[in-house]
Amino acid sequence: MHTVWKGAISFGLVHVPVKMFSATQDNDIAMKMIHKACGTPISYVRTCQHCEQPVEWEDIVRGYEYEPGRFVLFEKEELDALAEASKEIKILDFVDLNEIDPIYFQKTYYLSPGDTGSNAYSLLMEAMRQTGKIGIAKVSIRSKSSLAAIRIIEDCIAMETIFYPDEIRSIRQVPNLPENPQVNDKELAMAKMLIEQLSAPFEPDKYKDDYREKVWDMIQSKIAGEEVRVAPEAPKTNVIDLMAALQASLEAVKTEKVPADQTDKTASKSRGKKKAKETVS
């Protein structure tokens, strides 16, 4: 894995040197923008709107538009200096993981011991494991300051960058939320029963990206020169009988969970009764 950051975890007067690695990867199938007429990839040119000329990377700086058309400019070194001011993941508090709503989480990183300090790393990991606590820290990565949650994943210290509270939009901004929602008791009972029927331990390996697989299959078909046909979707209707949908869902779940041998026994018993009846008659 590629090291994306080096620094140290600090809590109190203890410093734990660590290296940071990205824990996730984007597996989306990358596609380029192509000129349909000739099949050539399109290139994007950085152009100055005033000079109407291409601009090289070394001639580009960052700027903040504080008024329309007026900017304050920053050299790369100025922003880097702010980020380099602290090369530490400073734990501010220890809290329970269940106190943090998932909406706050951004990206996960793995932290390994630095070239020195493996004993301090193991000590922090075991102390957090036995207390059941996670650390809330501040860190600067790539010129961006962020809050972070420090927790244990198996035998590794991990860091989850999390949003600041003012970066979370208020639910009050969501339009058309129901006020004083009312539900039918029978529908509610059936909905809860359906949830119970569908409840299972979380097994991430059983979930897959169906869309990505379909795109890859289509790519292979096009490479092989086959004609690609997409079946039309069934027409959808907005008119839904809620009770009927819940009942059908429950029946489907019950059917899926009936063991095959039990189904065979039931069918065999039914055939036996029918044969006996015919003999009597």
Q: Check which CATH number belongs to the domain holding 134 and give it.
A: 2.40.290.10
Two tokens, residue 249: 């869902």
For residue 131, being part of any structural domain is answered with yes
Q: What is the pLDDT of residues 8-46, one digit of tens each?
A: 898 888 889 999 999 988 888 888 888 888 788 888 888
For residue 95, being part of any structural domain is answered with yes
> DSSP character for 44?
-
For residue 279, being part of any structural domain is answered with no
For residue 252, being part of any structural domain is answered with no
Q: Are 105 and 160 in contact (CB under 8 A)?
A: yes
Average pLDDT, the chain: 83
What is the span of the domain harbouring residue 90? Answer: 3-26+82-167
Two tokens, residue 267: 């069918």
Q: CA 6 to CA 141: how far, in whole Å?
A: 10
- Residue 171 identity: I
For residue 7, being part of any structural domain is answered with yes
CA terminus-to-terminus distance, the chain: 78
Q: At residue 7, does pLDDT exceed 50?
A: yes
Whole-number percent of the chain with pLDDT over 70: 83
Whole-number percent of the chain with pLDDT over 90: 37
Chain Cα centroid distance, residue 69: 37
For residue 278, being part of any structural domain is answered with no
When divided into structural domains, the chain yields a total of 1
Q: At residue 265, does pLDDT exceed 80?
A: no
Q: At residue 81, does pLDDT exceed 90?
A: no
Contacts of 76 (CB under 8 A, 6+ apart): 61, 62
For residue 160, being part of any structural domain is answered with yes
**Which pLDDT does position 258 carry in this prediction?**
59
For residue 113, being part of any structural domain is answered with yes
Q: CA 168 to CA 170: how far, in whole Å?
A: 6
Q: CA 238 to CA 67: how far, in whole Å?
A: 47
Two tokens, residue 136: 């809330």
pTM: 0.70
Q: What is the pLDDT of residues 154-188, one digit of tens each?
A: 999 999 999 999 999 999 999 999 888 899 999 99
